[in-house]
Chain A
Amino acid sequence: MTVILCQSSFSPYAELEAYQQLMADDVKRYGATTIFVGTMRDLNLGDEVTHMNLEHYPGMTERQLGQIVSEAQARWDLLDALVIHRVGEITPGESIVLVAVWTLHRGAAFEACRHIIEALKHTAPFWKKETIKDGERWVESNTEG
């Protein structure tokens, strides 16, 4: 299980490839992998967004993500999980978050991946400040799925 906070742009697919190659043999028994990639959009609430700053609480953010992944591991018998999350300045088109889950079978993989990203969105301490044409604004509500 690995949680990484990343200060600069990353390629989720390159990270996945590299991570899988380093997996131990007992993890390679997986039959299912699900991944979620969140990407920054250039439009939010009807406004063009030029970039955003993602603030976090160093220490607590890592701890909260670690707890979410540990709980999911116990509940769905995960063989492995990888969460990478950007912090700092992000521009549209860049990946914000990767959640990858490896399990024996697909059902658990889908459920656990969905659970991790939703729990992350609702409880991990991250705060978005968007820069739009007219200035900056905090985005402080969680929208519906």
Chain B
Amino acid sequence: MTIKVRYFASLREKMGRIDDTLVYENIATVADVWRAVSSGRPIPDHLLCAVNMEYADAQAEVKDGDEVAFFPPVTGGAR
């Protein structure tokens, strides 16, 4: 299966790239995707995830052709 993985803002800078394309057989969830792109680490608590441009949690399922995104908290500024 093929998964497009995208990174934004400070995470993009830390990763040193804007995206990855994963071609794997053993990916079932968002957490699996993160492990595949981060040398097996768990998803940091503060990171947000989206699958096909909808917010998703670490246990959300992914399937062939999905776009998975990881990014830091969104910024709104003072009310």
Main secondary structure of the interface of B (DSSP, over half): loop
Give which listed residue, A57, A120, A142, A145, contacts B73 with CB less than 8 A: A142
Query: What is the CA–CA distance of A121 and B79 in the complex, to the nearest angstrom?
Result: 9
Query: What is the CA–CA distance of A57 and B6 in the complex, to the nearest angstrom?
Result: 9
B77 neighbours in A (Cβ, 8 Å): 38, 121, 128, 139, 142-143
B73 neighbours in A (Cβ, 8 Å): 140-142
Give which listed residue, B6, B53, B79, contacts A143 with CB less than 8 A: B79
Question: Contacts A60-B53, A125-B8: A142 and B72 contacting too (C-beta < 8 A)?
Answer: no
CB-based contact B75/A142 at 8 Å = yes
Query: What is the CA–CA distance of A121 and B74 in the complex, to the nearest angstrom?
Result: 8
Q: Is A115 an interface residue (CB 8 A)?
A: no
CB-based contact B53/A140 at 8 Å = no
102-143 of chain A: CB within 8 A of chain B: 118, 120-129, 138-143
Q: Is A29 an interface residue (CB 8 A)?
A: no
CB-based contact A126/B69 at 8 Å = no
CB-based contact A127/B78 at 8 Å = no
CB-based contact A129/B9 at 8 Å = yes
1-18 of chain B: CB within 8 A of chain A: 6, 8-10
Question: Contacts A57-B69, A60-B50: A123 and B74 contacting too (C-beta < 8 A)?
Answer: yes
What is the chain B residue whose CB lies nearest that of A60? B53
CB-based contact A143/B9 at 8 Å = no
* Shortest Cβ gap from B53 to chain A (Å): 4
CB-based contact A125/B78 at 8 Å = no
* Shortest Cβ gap from B24 to chain A (Å): 23
A139 neighbours in B (Cβ, 8 Å): 75, 77
B54 neighbours in A (Cβ, 8 Å): 60, 63
35-83 of chain A: CB within 8 A of chain B: 38, 55, 57, 59-60, 63
Please name 5 pairs of A and B residues whose Cβ atoms are closer than 8 Å in the assembled complex, sorted by A. Answer: A60-B50, A60-B53, A123-B55, A124-B74, A127-B71
- Complex A-B, nearest 6 residue pairs according to Cβ-Cβ distance, in ascending order: A145-B79, A121-B76, A127-B9, A60-B53, A143-B78, A138-B10
